[in-house]
Structure formats: C-alpha cells, structure tokens
Chain A
C-alpha cells in the first residue's frame, strides 16, 4: 500500500461522491470526470498504461462530453422544484449500503487466500495488439459489431421524428 494509492483513492471516492450528491447536474458531470481521472491514475499506478490512457481518451474525452451535452439538451441545468433525490431515496440508500457491506465482508474474509503480488509485468502495446488480434479476435469483432449497431441505434433514437413539430 503506497501513499500514492491512498491519495488517488481519496480523489476517486471524493469525485464519485460529489457526482451523486451535488445539486447542480453539470457539477455532477464535472465531478464524474474527476472520478474518471482518479481511476485512470489508479490504472497507471497498476502498471496498466494502455488501459489508463484509453480511460482518459474514452471517458473524459467522449463519455463526459456526451453527458454534458445530454444535460444541456434536456434542460438539466435547472434544479427541479421537487428536489434532486427521488421519493424512494431511503430504500435505494439501504440497498447500496447492504451491497457495500456484503462486498466488503467478502473481500476481508478472503484476505488470507489472496495471491501475493508478483513481479511487475512488462506489457508493451505490441503485446496487447497481438493478443487482441490473436486470442481475443472474436470478442474484438463482436465489439466492432456492437459499436456499429450502437452508433446507428443512437442516431435513430435521437433523430427528429418526421412530420412532428419540434
């Protein structure tokens, strides 16, 4: 456990908490990017360079931008009169706390049998490319199909319906 891990963990959890607790929706989205950045740094801390940079490129560069666009397109910047939390917020909170306690209990129970850290793996981008087009080529093709259909689907869903006044 290095001090860097604790700093990054605090950053990530603070970003995540702010993302679900803040009132202003755009602030939530910006706090979410802080959590994403913290996670990317955690990936770098785990010697997963490629995943860390891909995390920044895809989550901060694309998903966060999509989220703020959607917020502005749905007038989400106006704080609603009825409050930001749903009527059944207490039930949701209890469920989340229950899930966390079960997960935490399971992790702590299995602490003894967890593997000891091995040497730092030296994984180059070349290795990842070879694995993607070798052993994992079928998932890669399925992801390609999924992304294509998601692109078409997102365009169709968000397209203006013809003949309806906007």
Chain B
C-alpha cells in the first residue's frame, strides 16, 4: 500500500507549479504576489504532511515550521502589497511589463 503522503506531496507539487506559473506569466504585480502566496502554501502543505506521516510526529517540528512560515508569509504579504501600492503611486500602473525602466 502506498503511503498517503504521496498524494499530499503530488498535490503540493501541483500547487507550487500553479503558483509559479501564475507568478511568471501574469502582468499585474498583485497577481504575481498571489502566485507567490500559492507557492508558500504548497510548501506549508508539505511541511504539515511530513509532520503527520513522519516517524516522530510528537516532536512537532514540521508543524512549528508551518506556523512560523504562516507568520512570515503574513509579513511578506503586507510588505509586498505595500511595495506594489508604492510603485503604483510612482508609475500609475501595476503592470509589470511597463516597469522596465531603471530610472524613475
């Protein structure tokens, strides 16, 4: 019998790929951030799945990683969206294809 961990790992890989594709293909800076959030969440899913099906779940290591990762992701979202708003104020657009100048 295959370990149920396989399903979670494949799902996390799929979510990571979806997030990566979103981050690499969208024009809008906010949607790039959405893709990054998806990638972070896929990593969290991996951490929790490894904690649950690992040999020592009582050590709580994977779960602690997931908790810290959620906290860091919240800070990342706040700073990232603050940057997007700041760029929008400066360039009047959130379109990444138009942000190709080094000089403001």
Contact = CB atoms under 8 A, between A and B. Distances in A.
Contacts of A75: 94
A147 B73 CA distance: 10
Interface residue SS majority, chain A: helix
Interface residues of A, number: 84
Interface residues of B, number: 73
A104 B14 CA distance: 8
A21 B8 CA distance: 23
Given A83-B27, A115-B5, A146-B75, A70 B85 contact: yes
A118 B53 contact: yes
B52 to A, nearest CB: 4
A140 B10 CA distance: 30
Interface string B25-58: 1111111011101100100110011011111011
Interface of B: 2-11, 13-31, 33-35, 37-38, 41, 44-45, 48-49, 51-55, 57-58, 60, 63-64, 66-68, 70-79, 81-86, 88, 94-97
Given A76-B30, A128-B64, 7 more contacts: A16-B19, A20-B18, A54-B67, A63-B37, A107-B13, A117-B3, A154-B82
Interface of A: 1, 5, 9, 12-13, 16-17, 19-20, 25, 28-29, 32, 35-36, 39, 42-43, 46-48, 50-51, 54-55, 58-59, 62-63, 66-67, 69-71, 73-76, 80, 82-89, 91-93, 95-97, 99-100, 103-104, 107-108, 111, 114-118, 121, 123, 127-128, 131-132, 136, 139-140, 143, 146-147, 150-151, 153-155, 157-158
